[in-house]
Amino acid sequence: MTNQSQLCPKFEKAMSILSKRWTGLVVYQLLRGSQRFCEIEASIGISGRLLSDRLKHLENEGMVKRDVYPETPIRIEYSLTEKGRALEPLMNELEQWSKTWIDEKEAVQR
Amino acid sequence: MTNQSQLCPKFEKAMSILSKRWTGLVVYQLLRGSQRFCEIEASIGISGRLLSDRLKHLENEGMVKRDVYPETPIRIEYSLTEKGRALEPLMNELEQWSKTWIDEKEAVQR
DNA sequence: TTAATTAATTACTTTTCGTAAGTAAGTATA
DNA sequence: TATACTTACTTACGAAAAGTAATTAATTAA
CB contact under 8 A, B90 and A90: yes
- Largest distance between two CA atoms of chain B: 61
- Residue A73: asked if its preceding bond is cis (omega within 30°), the reply is yes
Cβ neighbours of A33 (radius 10 Å): 9
- What digits encode the pLDDT tens for the residues A11-45? 999 999 999 999 999 999 999 999 999 999 999 99
d(CA A30, CA A7): 29
Q: Give me the pLDDT at residue A72, please.
A: 82
Over range B15-43, report the average pLDDT: 97
Cβ contact B8–A95 (<8 Å):
yes
Distance to chain A for B34, nearest Cα, Å: 16
- pLDDT, residue B1, reads 39
pLDDT surpassing 70 at residue A5: no
B108 pLDDT more than 90: no
- CATH topology for A33-101? Arc Repressor Mutant, subunit A (1.10.10)
Mean pLDDT of A40-57: 96
Residue B65 pLDDT class (50, 70, 90 cuts): very high
Instruction: Find and give the residue nearest to D9, measured CA to C1'.
Output: A52
Average per-residue pLDDT in chain B? 93
Per-domain residue ranges of chain B: 19-102
What is chain A's mean pLDDT, rounded? Answer: 93
List CB contacts of B7: < 8 A, sequence separation 6 or more.
Answer: A25, A29, A43, A44
pLDDT on residue B4: 47
Domain B19-102 top-level CATH class: mainly alpha
Instruction: Say if the Cβ atoms of B38 and A1 lie within 8 Å.
Output: yes
